[in-house]
Amino acid sequence: MGSISLNNINKSFGSTEVLKNINLDIADGEFLILIGPSGCGKSTLMNLIAGLEDLNSGEIIIDGLNVSDESPKDRDIAMVFQSYALYPTMNVARNICFGLEMNKVSKSEQESILKRVSGLLQIDHLLDRKPGQLSGGQRQRVAMGRALARSPKVFLFDEPLSNLDAKLRVEMRTEIKKLHKRIGTTMVYVTHDQIEAMTLADRIAVLKDGELQQIGTPYEIYNDPVSHFVADFMGSPGMNFIECIVKDENLIIESGGKKYEISIPCKDALNKSNLDVVLLGIRPEMLTEVQPSAVGNKFIQKVKFDVEVIEPMGADTVAIGQWNETEVMVRLSPESGNSAGNGFDLQVDTSKAILFDPSSGLRLR
Amino acid sequence: MSSLKLTKYNIGRAFIYLILLFFAFLYLAPLYVMFTTSLKDIEEIRSGNLMALPIDPTFYAWKKAWSSACTGSECNGLAPYFWNSVRIVVPAVIISTIVGAFNGYVLAKWKFKGSEFLFGALLFGCFIPFQVILLPMAKLLGMLGLANTVTGLVLVHVIYGVAFTTLFFRNYYVGIPTELVRAAKLDGAGFFAIFRHVFIPLSAPIFVVTIIWQFTQIWNDFLFGVVYSGSGTQPITVALNNLVNTSVGGKEYNVDMAAAIIAALPTLAVYVIAGKYFVRGLTAGAVKG
Is the Cβ of A296 closer than 8 Å to some Cβ of chain B? Answer: no
CB contact under 8 A, A81 and B183: yes
Who has greater pLDDT, B143 or A266? B143
Round to whole Å and give the CA distance between A237 and A27: 31
Q: Residue A140: inside a domain, yes or no?
A: yes
Same domain, A93 and A223: yes
Question: If you average pLDDT over residues A121-129, what whole number do you get?
Answer: 92
| Domain CATH for A284 | 2.40.50.140
Asked whether the predicted pLDDT for residue B287 surpasses 80, the reply is no
In chain A, residues with a C-beta closer than 8 Å to the C-beta of B183 are 79, 81, 85-87, 146
The model's pLDDT over A130-152, given as tens digits with 9 standing for 90+, comes to: 998 999 889 999 999 999 998 89
Nearest residue to B174 via CA among B98, B103, B109: B109
Are the beta carbons of A4 and A67 closer than 8 angstroms?
no
pLDDT tens digit sequence for B26-38: 999 999 999 999 9
Both A215 and A333 in a single domain? no
A62-101 pLDDT tens trace: 999 999 999 998 999 999 998 899 999 999 999 999 999 9
Q: Which residues of B101-140 are buried (b: 16+ CB within 10 A; e: fewer)?
A: bbbbbbbbbeeeeeeeebbeebeebeeeeeeebeeebeeb
Same domain, A67 and A138: yes
Q: Give the whole-angstrom CA distance, residue B105 versus residue A250.
A: 67
Q: Which residues of A touch B190 (CB under 8 A)?
A: 73
Pair A80, A201 in one domain = yes
Mean per-residue pLDDT for A154-165? Answer: 91
| Interchain proximity A87–B177, CB inside 8 Å | no
Q: Is A317 part of any domain?
A: yes
In a domain, A139, yes or no: yes
Q: Rounded to whole angstroms, how far apart are CA atoms A45 and A51?
A: 10
Residues of A in contact with B189 (CB under 8 A): 73, 98, 102
- The last residue of one of the domains, among A177, A206, A233, is A233
- Cα angle: B270, vertex B276, B281; to 5 degrees: 100
Q: Which of A67, A89, A140 to mutate to test the interface with B (most CBs of B within 10 A)?
A: A89
Q: Specify burial of residue A348 (Cβ count, 10 A radius: 0-12, 13-18, 19+).
A: buried
pLDDT in tens, B100-120: 999 999 999 999 999 999 999
- What is the residue-wise DSSP string for A20-75? EEEEEEE-TT-EEEEE-STTSSHHHHHHHHHTSS--SEEEEEETTEE-TTS-GGGS
Closest CA to A11 of A61, A62, A49, A45: A45
Look at A71 and B182 and tell me if their CB atoms are within 8 Å.
no
Within 13 A of A297's CA, how many CA atoms are on the CB side? Answer: 18
State how far the Cα of B71 lies from the Cα of A299, in Å rounded to an integer. Answer: 108
**Alpha carbon distance B263, B74 (integer Å):** 18
Cβ <8 Å between A52 and B193: no
The verdict on A160 and A296 lying in the same domain is no
* Residue A365 belongs to a domain: no
**Residue A64 within any structural domain of the chain:** yes
Q: Which one is predicted more confidently, B70 or A347?
A: A347
Q: Which residues of A touch B186 (CB under 8 A)?
A: 50, 52, 72-73, 77-79, 99
| Residue span of the structural domain in which A195 resides | 4-233
Pair A298, A327 in one domain: yes
As for how many domains chain A has, the answer is 2
What's the CA gap between A246 and A249, in Å, rounded? 6
Residue A12 CA to residue A57 CA, distance in Å, equals 10
- Tell me if B189 sits within 8 A of B198, measured CB to CB: yes
Q: Domain end: A192, A214, A233, which one?
A: A233
Interface residue ranges in chain B relative to chain A, Cβ cutoff 8 Å: 177, 179-180, 182-190, 193, 197-198, 201-202, 289
> A53: distance to nearest CA of chain B, Å?
10
With beta carbons less than 8 A apart as the criterion, state whether A105 and A113 touch.
Answer: yes
Q: Apex CA A52: angle with CA B111 and CA B112, to 5°?
A: 15
Pick the closest to residue B211 from B126, B277, B264 (CA basis).
B277
Task: Give yes or no: residues A189 and A248 share one domain.
Answer: no
- Four-residue CA torsion sign, A262, A265, A266, A267: positive
Q: Are residues A150 and A34 in the same domain?
A: yes
At residue A287, the pLDDT reads 93
Average pLDDT taken over every residue of chain B: 88
- For residue B182, the chain A residue with the least C-alpha distance is A52
Q: Got the DSSP string for B229-287?
A: --TTS--HHHHHHHHHH--SSS--HHHHHHHHHHHHHHHHHHHHHHHHHHHHHHTHHHH
Furthest C-alpha separation in chain A: 78
Starting at the edge strand found earlier in the chain, the sheet holding A4-13 runs A16-26, A4-13, A57-62, A65-66
Q: Which of A51, A85, A103 sits opposite B183 (nearest CB)?
A: A85
Q: Is A71 on the interface with B (CB under 8 A)?
A: yes
Q: How far is CA B163 from CA A320, B97, B146, B176, B207, in A?
A: 63, 10, 22, 21, 15
Choosing from A201, A233, A265, the residue where a domain stops is: A233
Q: Phi/psi at A211 (nearest 5 deg)?
A: -120, 140
- pLDDT bracket for residue B289 (50, 70, 90): very low
Q: Please, are residues A87 and A131 in contact by the beta-carbon 8 Å criterion?
A: yes
Domain ranges of chain B: 8-58, 79-287
Q: Taking Cα atoms as reference points, which of B67, B109, B81, B31 lies closest to residue B255? A: B67
What residues in A contact B193, CB-CB < 8 Å? Answer: 102
What value does the mean pLDDT take over residues A41-52? 93
Interatomic CA distance for residues B119 and B173, integer angstroms: 14
The yes-or-no verdict on residue B5 having pLDDT over 70 is no
Residue B282: pLDDT band (50, 70, 90) is low
Handedness of CA A254, A258, A259, A260 (dihedral sign): negative
Is the torsion defined by CA of B157, B160, B166, B168 positive or negative?
negative
- Closest alpha carbon to A192 in A325, A363, A29, A42: A42
Domain membership of residue A363 (yes or no) is: no
Instruction: Judge if A297 and A161 occupy the same domain.
Output: no
pLDDT of residue B288: 38
Q: Using one digit for the tens of pLDDT, what is the confidence trace for B203-257?
A: 988 998 899 999 999 999 999 999 998 888 899 999 999 988 887 767 888 899 9
Kindly state whether residues A34 and A18 are assigned to the same domain: yes
- Best of B111, B178, B186 to substitute, by most chain A Cβ atoms within 10 angstroms, is B186
Same domain, A54 and A98: yes
Say whether both A151 and A263 belong to one domain. Answer: no
Residues from chain A contacting residue B198 (CB–CB below 8 Å): 87, 89
- As a whole number, mean pLDDT of residues A35-63 equals 93
Chain A partners within 8 Å of B180 (Cβ): 85, 87
CB nearest A103 (choices: B179, B188, B202)? B188
CATH superfamily of B79-287: MetI-like (1.10.3720.10)
**pTM of the full structure:** 0.82
Which of A62, A75, A81 should we substitute to test contact with B (largest number of B Cβ atoms within 10 Å)?
A81
8 A C-beta contact, residue A313 and residue A320: no
A73 CB near a chain B CB, below 8 Å?
yes
* Whole-angstrom distance, CA of residue A235 vs CA of residue A289: 20
CATH number at residue A146: 3.40.50.300
